[in-house]
Amino acid sequence: MNALLQSQYAVTRFSDVVTGRIAHWNKTNLVASREIRANLDKLTPFAKEVFTWFHAGAVAAVKMLLLERRIFRAPLLRVDTKTLAVDNFRGLYLVIITYYTHIFSMSNSDVADDVRDALYQIVSNRNEAASILDRLRTEESREGDRPRQFSQIEQQMFVWEKAAEALSITDYKNIALWNRFNGVALEWYAFAIENIVKRVAHA
């Protein structure tokens, strides 16, 4: 990073501190994140390993989407984080970690029930998590009289709409925002899976 970019980054970070953006982030996002982390101790060793990394991935995704300022640019989701409360972050973590649980369950059917049960023990709203999982698994769309499963794109759009709802984003049909959210969420899911596989292989 050259001197000009370093200077711009320093000014941006200083602005975040002075305006109270970082302090508010710590009072809201960190509270929601720590609640989940505390609940991880309720889980079996296998489930704890899985959800420790799902939680780590979700934390990194939320930070990248809402807090990190790229040089000369706003964060990926242009939300004024000072308007967000703890419940907004609880809802966002619930959506992301539930999405991770769904993807994991689809490719690991032998432990699908176990990971779903573990999910319900750590999130802020069990019923909402169950509702999202059910919707992602349900054959709701129809072509004529023949039901078909949600396509991958439909699943991703649904998850984005739930995330936007958690953050009170009204422009949820904005394809650019969906693209940013989905790209970041899946990037950190891949990170979580890579680490889960490493730990399980060496267990």
Element (H, E) at 8: helix 3-18
The predicted structure's pLDDT at residue 148: 59
Q: Where are the alpha helices (DSSP H) in 78-125?
A: 86-107, 112-122
pTM: 0.85
Range with the poorest average pLDDT among 2-16, 133-147, 180-194? 2-16
Beta strand spans in the chain (E): 142-143, 146-147
d(CA 162, CA 85): 16
Report whether 24 contacts 81 (CB < 8 A): yes
Structural domain containing residue 151:
3-201
The predicted structure's pLDDT at residue 71: 45
Over residues 72-131, the pLDDT tens digits come to 455 678 888 999 999 999 999 999 999 999 999 999 999 999 999 999 999 999 999 999
Q: How many domains does the chain have?
A: 1
Which range scores top for mean pLDDT: 2-6, 54-58, 174-178? 54-58
Range with the poorest average pLDDT among 45-49, 111-115, 151-155? 151-155
**Average pLDDT, rounded, for the chain:** 85
42 pLDDT above the threshold of 80: yes
Residue of higher predicted confidence among 133 and 18: 133
The predicted structure's pLDDT at residue 52: 97
Phi, psi of 143 (to 5 degrees): -115, 105
The predicted structure's pLDDT at residue 172: 86
9 pLDDT above the threshold of 70: no
